[in-house]
Structure 1
Amino acid sequence: MKNEPQTLRDAHAVATARRPRPEADMSEWLTFHRANARMYRAVSEVDRGHHHELKYWVGFEERKAEEMAARIGAARVGS
């Protein structure tokens, strides 16, 4: 796909460009981390020279998404 990131560097640039504001709602951060995990997973199939580093980033973003989902769940229970 022409407009999709094809390298680790491209993927980092996309992630940086779409990063939410620090004060953004938790759901926006959750969406961001989930999208990054999908993107890094897709790029890991194309940029084979950085496959293992990209897999690290997939795991990192999935962990961040899980943490954010847990925070959202805790906030709902606490309300």
Structure 2
Amino acid sequence: MDWNKAADNAQTLMQAHEALSRLMPRPDAPQQTWLAYYRRSAAVYTRVAEIDRGHFHETMFWATREREKAEAMEQSALA
């Protein structure tokens, strides 16, 4: 997956949203691609939460949401 500088350098919640929406896999992408996307998105949001303190709680919501999606995907793969 091509994670560009915009995602890695995002400093605000809005920048993270914009970068991650551009990097989102196509709907029919393999499960592993989506799993990697959710994990990386969670990491981006977690990092941005420490920088964009005015949006800390909202950014942590997004980090948790993406992490939970990855965990649910992992659990369904084990079932």
Asked if TM exceeds 0.5, the reply is: yes
Q: Which residue is equivalent to 1:35?
A: 40
Normalised to the residue count of structure 1, the TM-score between the two structures is 0.86
The number of equivalent residue pairs is: 73
Work out which of the two has the higher radius of gyration on C-alpha atoms and give 1 or 2: 1
Q: Which residue is equivalent to 1:6?
A: 11
Following the alignment from structure 1 to structure 2, what is the Cα–Cα distance between the partners of residues 33 and 20?
A: 10
Q: How far apart are residue 68 of structure 1 and its match?
A: 1.1
How large is the Cα RMSD of the aligned pairs?
1.3
Following the alignment from structure 1 to structure 2, what is the Cα–Cα distance between the partners of residues 14 and 71?
A: 28
Normalised to the residue count of structure 2, the TM-score between the two structures is 0.86
Any unmatched runs of 5+ in structure 1? 75-79
Percent identity between the two aligned chains: 41
Q: How far apart are residue 73 of structure 1 and its match?
A: 2.1
**What amino acid is the match of 1:29?**
W
Q: Which residue is equivalent to 2:49?
A: 44
The answer on 1:26 being equivalent to 2:31 is yes
